[in-house]
Amino acid sequence: MKRSGLVFGVMVVGIALLLWAGWHNLRERRLAMQQAQENHVVLVPEKAGSAAQDSQSPEAEAMQMRGKVAPAFTLATLDGKKVSLSDYKGRPVLVNFWATWCGPCKVEMPWFEEFRKQYAAQGFEILGLADDVDAGKDAIAKVAQKTGVTYPILLTDGKIQKAYGGPDGMDYLPMSFYVDKNGVIVEETAGLGSKDEIEAHIKKIVASEATAAGGQ
């Protein structure tokens, strides 16, 4: 009788250990999933509804312009004013490609506006290049107003996407190019990063030193 009771006790302890191990494992998995979600970067194909491209990783593509002089451009604003990258010579500039249908773009745009005001004293500026001009000026203006941005919104011409994204243009949106005071792209990102990551990139170009030969 004592022996059977001992066996029963061992079984109870064993079952309890198994349950604890299962719960612990589930907790660890949940923590890992939570961490992965916090570090998640959203990538949206440039064409709405297009299939994902696997010929080259977005991370690799996002390195192709780093260290190069930012391609020059002159584009029109929503009210027809001509704006050139060279207008901001000697200033840190964030060139951001976005679209009206791009959800992640609309998430980061209020952050951009916040940082624009925060680093205005250092000459920091943002140029928002609307990729889907065919959506119409009214639709583009509506998104800009809804997200609260006051920085220049420029209408792309098809050529600028190729200058920054390659022969096929932009594969992913949003795409951001952080241009320092010498007109050099020091960081390039594809998709939606965290607010802290965006600010870190901005701090890098704001802290850059302009040289006599530099400029957009």
CA 185 to chain CA centroid, nearest Å: 15
Residue 74: left if φ>0, alpha if ψ -120 to 50, beta else—which one?
beta
* Under 8 Å between Cβ of 26 and 146: no
Distances, alpha carbon 22 to alpha carbons 12, 17, 28, in Å: 15, 9, 10
Report the distance separating Cα 51 and Cα 47, nearest Å. 9
Report the distance separating Cα 216 and Cα 214, nearest Å. 7
The catalytic residues are 105
User: 190 Cβ partners below 8 Å, 6+ apart?
Assistant: 43, 58, 59, 61, 62, 171, 172, 174, 175
